[in-house]
Amino acid sequence: MKPHLILTSTVLIALIMVNFNSFFQEKMEYNKLTPEEENVILHKGTEAPFMGEYTDNNAQGYYVCKQCDTPLYRSNDKFESHCGWPSFDDEIDGAVTRKTDADGRRTEIICTNCGGHLGHVFEGENYTDKNIRHCVNSISLKFIPKPDEDTTGRAIFASGCFWGTEYYMQKADGVISTTVGYIGGHVENPTYKQVCSDTTGHAEAVEVIFDPKVISYEEITKLFFETHDPTQVDGQGPDIGSQYRSEIFYLNENQRNTGEKLKGILVEKGLKVATKITQATEFYPAEEYHQDYYQHKGSLPYCHRYIKRF
């Protein structure tokens, strides 16, 4: 059982965000800004309306802080307000901090991680059902487009705590992005607390988007088998429970066949492989503070390690 599971989700988020901020302030070198970017991000200026790069951008993806690359907004939360600046009715959990302006008239929004100025937030305008508008300077943002599904591959694996699984997947050449989340259960949109109760049927898992011209699904699956103990049933190292099980969630028959082949090779080598191979159901991304956990923490996984098996 993870020692942090006894904490409430609110306390856990607070503690992790404090640790994230401390780590980035001490370790991270921020991106170099142009004089125009400094005027807005550092000196709280405002770019001219209807002139920003992302005012009319409707592409799918997400928006990160121009200064520190921290994810701030998803494209699905962007809407057209005709105000002259990009507008969002929601932010990524914990990514944006609100501060009252010195004159007390408006509420400023800044990047929680680096303190860079983003714009202002307004409520009660009835633009969307959420009734909130983050009015953000384009110059404070950088847009990361969603990978083209026609030229990328997708894979989903569960092998214990998803922090450790993601750590090793991120290190592989050809991996474009990773997302930790939950899959294989019977509850819609489960929370971390629900999954940790071991009552929803979900596994902690990682969705991997990769470039098949650089790395194949078979190579990624080999990495999956080589970075955890596939013989342990309903657990991984000290983490015990079905949510920590070893499982391949295949998206097509080729992936299923690849998983079965590699599992068979390990069985022939004498391993009692407990890994399940299951058709993928809906994958639910985990809360934002779980994403890229070891990148932010700057340490190594406690229950995963690499062992060559093929």
Write out the residue limits of the CATH 2.170.150.20 domain(s) in the chain. Answer: 32-145
DSSP letter, residue 70: -
Write out the residue limits of the CATH 3.30.1060.10 domain(s) in the chain. Answer: 147-297
Q: Strand, helix or coil at 75?
A: helix
**CATH superfamily label, 147-297:** Peptide methionine sulphoxide reductase MsrA (3.30.1060.10)
CA 96 to chain centre: 16
What class is the 32-145 domain?
A: mainly beta
In this predicted structure, the answer to whether residue 188 has a pLDDT above a threshold of 50 is yes
What is the pLDDT, as a whole number, of residue 93?
A: 81
Closest by Cα among 23, 276, 299 to 167:
299
Closest by Cα among 68, 74, 75 to 140:
68
- The CA distance from 118 to 139, in Å, is 9
Encode pLDDT of 148-180 as tens digits: 666 889 999 999 999 999 999 999 999 988 999
- Higher pLDDT pick, 118 / 19: 118
Active site residue 135: yes
DSSP string over 178-225? EEEEEESSSSSS--HHHHHTT-S--EEEEEEEE-TTTS-HHHHHHHHH
Assessment of whether the complete model's pTM goes beyond 0.85: no
Out of 68, 161, 196, 303, pick the active-site residue.
161
Give ∠ CA 40-293-92 in degrees, rounded to 5: 45
- The CA distance from 188 to 294, in Å, is 27
Active site residue 68: no
In this predicted structure, the answer to whether residue 11 has a pLDDT above a threshold of 80 is no
In this predicted structure, the answer to whether residue 209 has a pLDDT above a threshold of 70 is yes
Out of 65, 68, 111, 135, pick the active-site residue.
135
Encode pLDDT of 46-81 as tens digits: 999 999 999 999 998 889 999 998 889 999 999 999
